[in-house]
Structure 1
Amino acid sequence: MRVSLDEDLAAGLRCDAALYTTGGGVVTRDCVFCRIVARESPADIEYEDDEILVFKDLYPKAPIHLLVIPKRHIESIATLAPEDTPLMGRCVQIAKLLGERTGYARRGYRLACHCGPEGGQVVYHVHFHFTAGRRG
Structure 2
Amino acid sequence: MAGEPQPDCLFCKIVAGEIPATIVRETETTVAFRDISPQAPTHVLVIPRVHHPDAASLAAADPGAAADVLREAGEVAAQEKVDGTGYRIVFNTGPGAGQTVFHAHAHVLGGRDLQRLV
TM-score (norm 1): 0.77
Letter in 2 for 1:32: L
Percent same amino acid among aligned pairs?
A: 37
In the alignment, is residue 118 of structure 1 matched against residue 92 of structure 2?
A: no
Q: Distance in 1 between matches of 2:24 and 2:55?
A: 23
Q: Distance in 2 between matches of 1:93 and 1:28?
A: 24
Query: Alignment partner for residue 14 of structure 2, among 29, 32, 36?
Result: 36
Which residue number corresponds to residue 96 of structure 1? Answer: 74
- Residue-by-residue CA offset, 1:93-125 (whole Å, 9 max, x unaligned): 111111211211121001000001112111000
Give the superposition deviation at 1:81.
5.7
- Residue-by-residue CA offset, 1:30-53 (whole Å, 9 max, x unaligned): 000001011111100000111100
Runs of 4+ in 1 over 6 A off after TM superposition: none
For structure 2, the 5+ residue unaligned runs are none
TM-score (norm 2): 0.88
Root-mean-square deviation (Å): 1.6
Which residue number corresponds to residue 72 of structure 1? Answer: 50
Q: Distance in 2 between matches of 1:91 and 1:81?
A: 10
Letter in 1 for 2:73: A
Q: Distance in 2 between matches of 1:134 and 1:62?
A: 7
Give the superposition deviation at 1:77.
2.5
For structure 1, the 5+ residue unaligned runs are 1-18, 20-24
Which residue number corresponds to residue 26 of structure 2? Answer: 48
Aligned residue for 1:60, secondary structure, equals: coil
Larger radius of gyration: 1
